[in-house]
Structure 1
Amino acid sequence: MNDYHFTVQPGEPLNRWVHTDLTIAPYRSEKAVFDHPVNITEEYVQIVYPGRQQFLDQRLKEEVLLPETDFHHIYFPFENPRLEFSAFIPTPHLLSVYGRTFIKPDEGGAFPFTVSTCGSVEIWVNGSKQLSWTPYTRNLASHKDITLTLEEGFNEVILYMDDLAERDVNYFTELRYTGQTALEGYIKVPASPEQIEQAERLLTSLYFSKDIYRSGRLEVYMNREEASGIEELFVNVNRNHLLNPVFDSKADDELDAFDFSFNVSLDENGFQKLMSVDDLSSNGLLQFDIGVVLPGGVQVARRMVASILTNDDPGQSFSDSLPERKQEILEFFSQSEKLDLNAGFSLIHLNGKVDEQAKRHIRSCFDEIQKKGDCADFRLAPLLGFTIKYQDTIPADFHEELKELAVNFRYWIDEPGNDVMWYFSENHALLFHVSQYFAGHLYPDTTFSVSGRTGREQYEKGKERLEEWFEVFLKYGYSEWNSTTYLPIDLIGFFSLYESAPDEHIRKLAKEALDFTFKIIAVNLHGKTMSTTYGRVYEHDLKAMEMGETANLAFITWKKGKLNTAMRCTTLFCLSSYEPPTLEDYFIEDASKALVTQYKQGIKEVYTYNYKTSSYCMSAAIRFNSYKKGHQQHAMNIALDQDNTQIWINHPGEAVYSGENRPSFWAGNGISPNITQYKQYMFLEYRLKEPFLPYIHAYLPFWKLDEVREEGNWLFAKKDDAYIGLYFSNGYELQEKGAIAHREARSYGAHHRVIATCASEAEVGSFKAFVEEQVNAAILIDSHRWSYATERAGTLQVIDDQLYANGKPVEYDAGYEVEEEHISIPQFQQ
């Protein structure tokens, strides 16, 4: 064994550890009922399930002892300041792990640290326990200032952490040193420390050549100077089934089958081909563990993510008739190679029978429903709706399998259970109520095993809950406003009810909700998808919008989106007789026209302001949650051209580039900005505070951009005939190294003001002219007012958070109905 030495400077984290096996054990609590209202906002809410309370009652009585197992896994943190194993597990599991490191002060004494966790932490120094802390604040980090008594010389530090995983779990401990002098440290490693350091430098330099691949080569860039003596990399590819299953509907057995590993010899140039995109048989967000095997068998690896979109072109043209196009799309869906419930629906509809292939597709979701895994309601609701509509086609033996699923499911928290399914968000509540309503209708005389109710009672209860849900929804709209992640989930319920509800008034409510939703999609449609502000979002959504269901819906509905294999609500749309109202006025194709739309959504009255032309689209949630802690809200967005080139600014919620936290590095905001907008001019102000990261940043998909130009505090980009300018009051740095290389413009500081503006060639002529106009803009900033002025824009001022355009206050007074204004844009004259 060798000593791998490191230094911990004041203010830095102690994140070098060797750890035991990570224990992941199923947790089964006593079944119980409980009561809690549905969350009618998009915010994160903390709800203690009975199973968690039982875990806490038991765990807080236990004494944690030093481990008897070996420490044989080296933790490679890269950019992560924490010892972290965050994940998504759809059923309850206990997580625990021990870590060990050695640290040496200049002399003995008490040394201060800040420890952060969402679960529990125990710390021993030289065999003596110095900390036992059990905040158990589930996914919300708690922070505690502590002192560790260290002896002169090296001290063995052992850390233990545990938590109960309920769906998404932020499972980490951060130990940040807050002393005045540096600490020396080391960990025991069975390899050359110099070789480990070299491998880490090489892997730190890696970045993908793009964030979404459709064809060609999957490539990473590396610093070849760090590769001396390293001849090959290993790559483990694992479809990320621990991400929120809102992304995925594959069966467990197929997920396992998709995992594979391979080695690749290093090329001589800076770009390293990992594999052909065509070799990846699945669409979606994939994790790539890329690493080096050192002499002695030590594996040094880092995790990176990229999205894959293949097999999205069936090589045919589609009818201009919506009913005919729906059938053609079902043919495309039915050819899916992956096991998918909706491919089974398509096959049954097209063939008029339930054959073995269709059964395999449909059974792929049975395990999730039987285990009551989180998001099982996403599968059960459409499955029961399909069963109602096609009950004469389904054979008796398969009917019995479906009935077994339905009568043994838990439909709400007033029924005893020990699962951790999430019931309380807008979309989940809807689908649980739809499932209960359908199940009760299908099996009225059967006693349901979990609740003890008859089907007839379940039907009445489900109908009552649906009526209450729609009463709120049709008054306030989406609490998770404009969300391209969760809007399609609500559509699963709407389409299912529209086609299969036994009550006419429920079908009418579903149609009203469908009409509203398609209007929201049309209003925000730009660049083949919804380009706007979102109430809930994930990194996957932002970077690969063309893979989402709203892009697919837009293609099916208007041939204006992007055909893909996101099949859940889109399959139900194609199976339905529903046709949306005429919405073409919301599509802008004339370069001399612009559309301004404004509306509120949710009980919190979140205000969407959207300005779009044929060349770009700018959207903001006006004055939403200003200067407060954020979650997964995407507060602003800018889209250039028509191929889903998305640019946004956010305050990262964690340091890990593609981590599991909410908010994450790219999705959501640690601290929310204050935003105002007038036409194509947007003003953002951030006031950051501890313990959050001290910078904001902009996402730049460099592989899509024709040109990026830096001019002082201004950052400019060009995409075809669309231009964008971003002014950072604190300046910025384009990142050139690591997984975020060329994608990130980072601006440091606690107080930021940012101006964002767009224009097109038709408006201002050349990109050079646009840059010159913005560089010469008059920008003044003081403590409570800031202003921007050009000849074309006039003078725009923000005074105490109020925006003024040429001296007149900009009012945001739209209601829950979409207000629209069509504008003629002055055209550039040579």
Structure 2
Amino acid sequence: MDKQSGFLTHYLVSGPRISHFDGHANRSQNGIQYEQYLRSLVADRNQELPVRAEDIALGKASKLGEPWEFLYPCSGLVNFSHFALTLGKVELLASTVLHADEEVDAAALLWTYAAVDVWLNGEKTASVQDPVYKPIGKTAMTLRLRKGENNLVVSMQNLAVRDTRSIFGIQLLDGLDKLTAGVPDTEAAAPFLSLDRWLSGIGYREGQLLLPPDPPCRVFLAYGDEAEGGQEITDISIPGSIEESVPFQIHDGAPFAVVYGVIGDNKLSRKIELLHNQRPVYREGVDRETVKNELFRELAQIGAGEVFQPLRFGLFYVLARWNLGLRAPCDEQHISRALGQIEQREDCSDFFLAGLLRLMAQHELPEALEQRAERAILSYRYWMTEEGSDAMCFWSENHALMFYICTYMAGKKYRDRHFDRSGRSGLEVEEVALGKIREWLEDVEQWGFEEFLSADYMCVTMGALLNVADYMDEPESSRAMALIDSMLAAFARHTFRGSIIAPQARIYRSVILPFTQAAQSLMHLLEPKTPAGNSEWLVFLMNSRYHLPYSVSELMDAPLETAYRTGNAWVKLNKQSRYMLTSVQSPRWDEPQVFWDNISFDEGVDVESNDYVKSFNERFHGTTRFEPGVYGYQQHMWYAALDNDTVIFSNHPGELADEGGMRPGYWYGNGIMPAIRQAGSVLGAIYEIADDHPVAFTHLFFPEDKLDGFERDGHWLFGHKDGGYIGIWCSEGLTPHDDLLFHCEYRAYNRLSAYYCKLGSREEYGNFNAFREACLSLAPQFNPRTLMLEASDGYSLTFIRHTNKTQYV
């Protein structure tokens, strides 16, 4: 049990079991409503107790057919989130034990996105019948605990569809001093609890793991992502004194280490990411043409072996090979696998369809594959209003254009054929798609990108635009090329010392290492001196009419202070030679404020129009209309940078621990959106986390080992690198925390907190001490009653609560 938060953290679990789920007929032209309908069907209601406490035993199969296992790690949220490409049903059983010193009625909360039933000592205590996508639900429970041992059994059911949120947590609100937590099958579980404590006690300092004394079993150290092989360190971790931790030198340069213990046939492992060992990679002494050719050859080598190994983007690598005049033994198998993904209508199968259509436009397929491809293309579901059910996302900015251009290319290729799910001829399909593509282009030309600066998703958008550029006539072809130019220019402006460092409408965990983002490959193509990157979407540049605008590389090193609108967002950027500060404002405070209208609530709107789709996407993802207090998704709100691999930012995590797989995640996105305002080299952020969100803290990403030096002074943190300086003040006392990362995180344990960030340089202040003293003199203050942050330099920011916290979902 986490005594600070009250979350229960020890469980035995059986599952998850994921089975096929019949999608039923699509009864709505609204994809969100359709998925809500499916969620209402997926869970079995009025369940009986699925297992008695005395029947729960480690290794024994439950009624799900899965063995009971000890869950490690567990932050308090039992999190089996995963990405489901097709529709399915998720089922999980979990059990924990509470020991009470005396009879007590304990107030508790059940947090869940899924359908959950809870039994206490065989009696049903709480039930949530319908899963939701967001926001997370909170159900009050009273746990009537008897003296001694009390068994809790939890059954979780959920719809598997895309980023499936199979999560629940039980949080005790009182009586923590009278309760202790354990798990069933006490004797068999005891070694696992001991190993849990031992693994959780591992520390790190200056290239050495600090191993707790007295390991409870054989323990091993491996390098990489998996607990496989490695060196036994059992005897090494036995010190002369039982109170001592044992330092153990790890390999210099290893990006990951895994420490794991073995109990019988079971392993518990702790993954440790050594962030300071992850550095940009450069190609020395190469020009642009060489870089381009090397990147294309590297892509062509993927999947070129003698033995077939399934690859998510195997088709793209075939396209790269064939464009270079190469063939590999398993190319037809890679194409066949992509056809299977298209036939099953997996989420993101529109990507593979775009690659297939491009491949077929440039090369001839073997006859059997050609015939199969034709059947797959004619029977594909090209929009959510067409017949059928699946897990595909149609409505995000990148998917919308991808579906439009796939529809256009398919209709044009098979003009005289019948398309099964729309009932249209190919010519009609082509004409409808042409109208949608024109609407999409016109909208982005007028308003800018919704998935602005997304270093992952905009590579997908670029792929769709390249198909427009290469397989449509004028003026659409030239318009697509111009939008790619604008995309690359925006990335170049937000490039600092070679890495893209930008606020982003949609982001993943690569936010902590910006030089690893997919779009970094584009900057590397434009300027070979930048950190190397790669992306499968570069394949679409091969044999393209489009030519990279190399002149925009001049924007990468140029100091710049600017502000601009994209979608409904207002972005600020201050890039100097020693530092960079950039953010998206929440809420907008520019004048005059111009927003596009969300028409998705209007009666009688054309649900096939791109204006509706864009509005629909804002309801689901909340991509560019930023307001404090609203539930967030994948938006990254601000960055400070002192180098191309050294960034600092704050966020409100969407989950309690790193590596949980949620969107929003631990380091990317925000559970609840903050107020943000940037003024020059100063930025303020205010977070008010309502009681209806389980994560009651915010945190700061502050990678100490990436800095040349850092200091702490009261509520201030200071750091410097290569003549760039940063000072960050927080209204709450900041507490260091180590999870997957060490020496990178400071938490503010309060639902209400404010951050004030100031950047400077050696040229501006002379030295680091002068900068630090200047920051201290600013004396930031945060008034929790008025929700106002102020400093003596005249900076101010007020958190204005927004009433619609569900972002329309």
TM bracket, shorter-chain basis: 0.7 to 0.9
- Confirm or deny: 8 A CA contact 2:514 2:645 kept in the other structure: yes
Counterpart for residue 630 of structure 1: 632
Cα–Cα, structure 1 residues 484 and 122, in superposed 2: closer, same or farther, change >3 Å? Answer: same
- Confirm or deny: 8 A CA contact 1:618 1:638 kept in the other structure: yes
**Normalised TM-score (structure 2):** 0.82
Of 80, 97, 100 in structure 1, the residue corresponding to residue 95 of structure 2 is: 100
CA offsets per residue over residues 694-737 of structure 1, 9 Å max, x none? 332211233321111112222111222222111223232333x4
Measured in 2, the distance between the counterparts of 1:325 and 1:19 equals 49
Counterpart for residue 607 of structure 1: 570
Counterpart for residue 647 of structure 1: 648
Are residue 620 (structure 1) and residue 605 (structure 2) matched?
A: no
Counterpart for residue 316 of structure 2: 342
Using the TM superposition, name which of 458-467 and 77-86 deviates more: 77-86
Measured in 2, the distance between the counterparts of 1:536 and 1:613 equals 25
Using the TM superposition, name which of 373-382 and 558-567 deviates more: 558-567
The Cα of 1:422 is off from its aligned counterpart by 0.9
The Cα of 1:512 is off from its aligned counterpart by 2.5
CA offsets per residue over residues 457-501 of structure 1, 9 Å max, x none? 222222222122222222211112221121111111011211122
The Cα of 1:595 is off from its aligned counterpart by 0.8
- Number of residue equivalences: 727
- Confirm or deny: 8 A CA contact 2:492 2:552 kept in the other structure: yes
- Confirm or deny: 8 A CA contact 2:110 2:141 kept in the other structure: yes
Using the TM superposition, name which of 104-113 and 679-688 deviates more: 104-113
Code of the residue aligned with 2:540 in structure 1: it is: L
The Cα of 1:606 is off from its aligned counterpart by 0.7
Measured in 2, the distance between the counterparts of 1:761 and 1:574 equals 44
* RMSD value, Cα: 3.3
Counterpart for residue 825 of structure 1: none
Measured in 2, the distance between the counterparts of 1:509 and 1:234 equals 54
Give the structure with the larger strand fraction: 1
Are residue 367 (structure 1) and residue 340 (structure 2) matched?
A: yes
Measured in 1, the distance between the counterparts of 2:273 and 2:344 equals 29
Counterpart for residue 228 of structure 2: 261
Using the TM superposition, name which of 228-237 and 706-715 deviates more: 228-237
Are residue 76 (structure 1) and residue 64 (structure 2) matched?
A: no
The Cα of 1:653 is off from its aligned counterpart by 1.9
- Confirm or deny: 8 A CA contact 2:70 2:189 kept in the other structure: no
Measured in 2, the distance between the counterparts of 1:455 and 1:753 equals 57
Cα–Cα, structure 1 residues 316 and 326, in superposed 2: closer, same or farther, change >3 Å? Answer: same
Cα–Cα, structure 1 residues 595 and 204, in superposed 2: closer, same or farther, change >3 Å? Answer: same
Measured in 2, the distance between the counterparts of 1:275 and 1:100 equals 41
Cα–Cα, structure 1 residues 29 and 576, in superposed 2: closer, same or farther, change >3 Å? Answer: same
Are residue 166 (structure 1) and residue 173 (structure 2) matched?
A: no
Q: Secondary structure at the match of 1:175?
A: strand
The Cα of 1:319 is off from its aligned counterpart by 2.7
Are residue 133 (structure 1) and residue 128 (structure 2) matched?
A: yes
Using the TM superposition, name which of 312-321 and 484-493 deviates more: 312-321
Counterpart for residue 468 of structure 1: 439
Q: Secondary structure at the match of 1:365?
A: helix
Code of the residue aligned with 1:97 in structure 2: it is: L
Code of the residue aligned with 1:270 in structure 2: it is: P
Code of the residue aligned with 1:669 in structure 2: it is: N
Of 242, 257, 260 in structure 2, the residue corresponding to residue 291 of structure 1 is: 260
Of 783, 788, 799 in structure 1, the residue corresponding to residue 791 of structure 2 is: 788
- Confirm or deny: 8 A CA contact 1:327 1:574 kept in the other structure: no
Are residue 156 (structure 1) and residue 156 (structure 2) matched?
A: no
Code of the residue aligned with 2:563 in structure 1: it is: Q
Cα–Cα, structure 1 residues 33 and 309, in superposed 2: closer, same or farther, change >3 Å? Answer: farther
Measured in 2, the distance between the counterparts of 1:93 and 1:234 equals 36
Counterpart for residue 549 of structure 1: 518
Measured in 2, the distance between the counterparts of 1:400 and 1:10 equals 62
Measured in 2, the distance between the counterparts of 1:691 and 1:724 equals 34
Measured in 1, the distance between the counterparts of 2:273 and 2:48 equals 36
Counterpart for residue 528 of structure 2: 559
Counterpart for residue 13 of structure 1: 7
Measured in 2, the distance between the counterparts of 1:223 and 1:548 equals 31
Counterpart for residue 820 of structure 1: none
**Normalised TM-score (structure 1):** 0.80
Q: Secondary structure at the match of 2:33?
A: coil
Counterpart for residue 393 of structure 2: 422
Counterpart for residue 330 of structure 1: 296
Taking the TM superposition and a 5 Å limit, the aligned residue runs for 1:493-572 are 493-501=464-472, 503-539=473-509, 541-568=510-537, 570-572=538-540
- Confirm or deny: 8 A CA contact 2:756 2:780 kept in the other structure: no
Taking the TM superposition and a 5 Å limit, the aligned residue runs for 1:702-721 are 702-721=704-723
- Confirm or deny: 8 A CA contact 1:436 1:462 kept in the other structure: yes
Of 13, 16, 22 in structure 2, the residue corresponding to residue 28 of structure 1 is: 22
CA offsets per residue over residues 575-610 of structure 1, 9 Å max, x none? 423234433452335xxxx311211111xx210000
Cα–Cα, structure 1 residues 77 and 195, in superposed 2: closer, same or farther, change >3 Å? Answer: closer
Q: Secondary structure at the match of 1:22?
A: strand
Measured in 2, the distance between the counterparts of 1:292 and 1:224 equals 13
Counterpart for residue 588 of structure 1: 557
The Cα of 1:419 is off from its aligned counterpart by 0.9
- Confirm or deny: 8 A CA contact 1:115 1:145 kept in the other structure: yes
Counterpart for residue 204 of structure 1: 200
Q: Secondary structure at the match of 2:261?
A: strand
Measured in 1, the distance between the counterparts of 2:227 and 2:21 equals 29
CA offsets per residue over residues 406-426 of structure 1, 9 Å max, x none? 223211112222211111211
Measured in 1, the distance between the counterparts of 2:80 and 2:42 equals 23
- Confirm or deny: 8 A CA contact 1:446 1:454 kept in the other structure: yes
CA offsets per residue over residues 198-240 of structure 1, 9 Å max, x none? 4223311347889xxxxxxxx8x543233546443276976xx
CA offsets per residue over residues 641-665 of structure 1, 9 Å max, x none? 2x33221111222111221222222
- Confirm or deny: 8 A CA contact 2:57 2:184 kept in the other structure: no
Are residue 727 (structure 1) and residue 733 (structure 2) matched?
A: no
Taking the TM superposition and a 5 Å limit, the aligned residue runs for 1:752-791 are 752-779=753-780, 782=783, 784=786, 786-789=789-792
The Cα of 1:160 is off from its aligned counterpart by 1.1
The Cα of 1:34 is off from its aligned counterpart by 3.0
Cα–Cα, structure 1 residues 525 and 144, in superposed 2: closer, same or farther, change >3 Å? Answer: same
- Confirm or deny: 8 A CA contact 1:9 1:183 kept in the other structure: no
Using the TM superposition, name which of 524-533 and 693-702 deviates more: 693-702
Code of the residue aligned with 1:12 in structure 2: it is: G
- Confirm or deny: 8 A CA contact 2:195 2:261 kept in the other structure: yes
Counterpart for residue 145 of structure 1: 140
Q: Secondary structure at the match of 2:418?
A: coil
Code of the residue aligned with 2:50 in structure 1: it is: L
Cα–Cα, structure 1 residues 364 and 546, in superposed 2: closer, same or farther, change >3 Å? Answer: farther
Counterpart for residue 253 of structure 1: none
Measured in 1, the distance between the counterparts of 2:436 and 2:495 equals 32
Code of the residue aligned with 1:768 in structure 2: it is: N
Measured in 1, the distance between the counterparts of 2:56 and 2:790 equals 62
The Cα of 1:396 is off from its aligned counterpart by 4.3
Unaligned runs of 5+ in 1: 1-6, 38-46, 211-218, 239-258, 279-285, 790-794, 803-830
The Cα of 1:514 is off from its aligned counterpart by 1.2
The Cα of 1:104 is off from its aligned counterpart by 3.9
The Cα of 1:371 is off from its aligned counterpart by 1.8
Code of the residue aligned with 1:200 in structure 2: it is: D
Of 360, 367, 372 in structure 2, the residue corresponding to residue 387 of structure 1 is: 360
Are residue 673 (structure 1) and residue 693 (structure 2) matched?
A: no
Counterpart for residue 658 of structure 1: 659
Q: Secondary structure at the match of 2:228?
A: strand
The Cα of 1:744 is off from its aligned counterpart by 0.7
Measured in 1, the distance between the counterparts of 2:484 and 2:658 equals 36
CA offsets per residue over residues 13-64 of structure 1, 9 Å max, x none? 2332223332211112334363128xxxxxxxxx1326x6256247465644
Are residue 481 (structure 1) and residue 452 (structure 2) matched?
A: yes
